[in-house]
Structure 1
């Protein structure tokens, strides 16, 4: 699952639209839309995002937030630690092996640590 997939699924549910209806309206296959919603496809293209935003009449700040969610939804993440201290590489590797075992509370705690120590 991805944040973008969750957002699209929620939009469809609120508007009472099926995957098939939405896919037909924006010019993609229902299989592609399903794969995006379930996190089996990478980050969607800007063109696709614009079609979805237009379909749901998402404008201005809401569109910016929607595009940001898509940016954070690539299910195949690569962490490049070249040039960083060895502790960073060890942590990245441990995180990659352990992330599936973390519950929502642990994810929230890690998010809070990042928010406190890292400026975007």
Structure 2
């Protein structure tokens, strides 16, 4: 299940709306809505997110939060490690291999670390400050 799917399911349950009724109101198939909730489909379009926000009367922060969850809900995320350091590439591969087996507390701790890194200052290009520079030619 994706973060978006879990939130959508919770919103429906809190308001006692059936999947079929919700799908009808959004003019989508119940199968598609179920696939969204269970993470078998990627993030919905911005238009569908807007419709869902209107259906649940979500405004401002709640609507923004739902859109953020949709952006974080790719069921098959891809990570391109080209150009990363060997350590970063090894970490990406280890993470992809072990994520399914990590306990919730570990996943939460990793997420907290990544959120803290997002909030901090952005480093320059990877190791740019430690790369040797080619000598400059004198201006004539």
Q: Which TM bucket (shorter chain)? A: over 0.9
| Superposed displacement of residue 97, structure 1 | 0.7
Q: Which has the higher contact order (CA 8 A, sep 6+)?
A: 1
TM-score by length of 1: 0.95
Residue in 2 that maps onto 1:20: 20
Residue in 2 that maps onto 1:47: 47
| Superposed displacement of residue 82, structure 1 | 1.2
Distance 2:55 2:116 in 1: 37
Distance 2:19 2:118 in 1: 38
Q: CA RMSD in A?
A: 1.2
Residue in 2 that maps onto 1:61: 61
Structure 1 unaligned segments of length 5 or more: list them: none
Given the alignment of the two structures, is residue 103 of structure 1 paired with residue 103 of structure 2, yes or no? yes
Give the helix-richer structure, 1 or 2.
Answer: 1
Cα deviations by residue, 1:27-58 (Å, 9 ceiling, x for unpaired): 00000000000000011110110111111111
Q: Which structure would you say has the larger Rg? A: 2
- How many matched pairs? 120
Distance 2:78 2:90 in 1: 14
TM-score by length of 2: 0.82
